[in-house]
Amino acid sequence: MCPRGTWLIPEFEPTNVSHCLLIETPSSGLILVDTGLGDAALRNPLRTLGSRAVSVGVQRDPAASALEQVRARGFDPADVQHIIPTHLDYDHAGGLVDFPDAVVHVTEVELAAAQDRNRRGFAQVRYDDRAWAHGPNWQTYDDDRGTGGWMGIDGVRPFEGLPPEFLLVPLAGHTLGQIGVAVDLPDGRRLLHAGDSYYARREVLAGRRSIRQRLFHHLTDADYLARKNVAWRCEEMIRFHPEIAVISSHDPYEWAAWRA
């Protein structure tokens, strides 16, 4: 994607992606963290997304969809038994329809915001009801702050029906119910997929933020101050906790650097 106007914001990368994380487990099949824009959107962006395809610069590339990436790795899409969207924005949940039988794990507040028929402001743009028109098998989580904490973040808990190596990490701010997904890795480290807690690593490591960056987040965040605090937590992990590999959804370089 090449979103229009991001070149004006020095902290952002002019070209970005929508990272989806596919994890094979022995007991729960394939687990997909985020689904991206979806197969239909990457086959015909204008027909599927309309003006949004132009504003975010979606490139036609059917092979890049989560659906085709699963197939390219020798799996049947039906092998995806669980999907964990970090949030339900159309560029993160647009592919839910491509895996209609999967259990979809989401917070109650996020699902309520996405399905609100009286959405206003940026919420009218960020959600696309077609992504869940097929009636997903939702597994919802309440906002119980009495559960465990991790890295200064309250409400961390395991996912229902998933291995204990997976943790739901509340990262509300960009949307009202955004979550991160923490996964224990075989090498002893922990990977945190932080969704849209920040858009580019250089954004959280920039020190002083530009007025244009702050304005952008004011326009797109459901709760600007909460998202700002979440970004600060991510910055702490990146700077001081090398045992935690933090990746965001849209930075085109983080994932490659982590895998190198």
Please name the amino acid found at residue 45.
Answer: P
* pLDDT, position 140: 97
For 157, the enclosing helix (H) or strand (E) is: strand 153-158
Q: What is the pLDDT of residue 1?
A: 44
Q: Mutual orientation of helices 224-240 and 211-220 as an angle, nearest 10°?
A: 120
The pLDDT, as a whole number, for residue 5 is 44
Q: pLDDT digits over 121-160, tens only?
A: 888 889 999 999 999 999 999 976 556 788 989 999 999 9
Nearest to 197 by CA among 169, 158, 165: 169
**Which of 35, 6, 11, 12 is closest to 193 using CA atoms?**
35
Q: Which residues partner with 170 through β-bridges?
A: 179
pLDDT-flagged residues of the chain (< 50): 1-5, 7
CB neighbours of 174 closer than 8 A, spacing ≥ 6?
A: 87, 195, 196, 197, 220, 221, 222, 227, 230
Q: Which CATH number fits domain 6-259: 3.40.50.1820, 3.40.50.2300, 3.60.15.10, 3.40.50.300?
A: 3.60.15.10
How many whole angstroms separate alpha carbon 207 and alpha carbon 11?
10
Residues 147, 108: Cα–Cα separation, whole Å:
16
| Residues 119 and 141: beta-carbon distance below 8 Å | no
pLDDT digit string (tens) for 189-224? Answer: 899 999 999 988 988 887 778 888 888 899 899 999
Is the separation of the CB atoms in 204 and 234 below 8 Å? yes
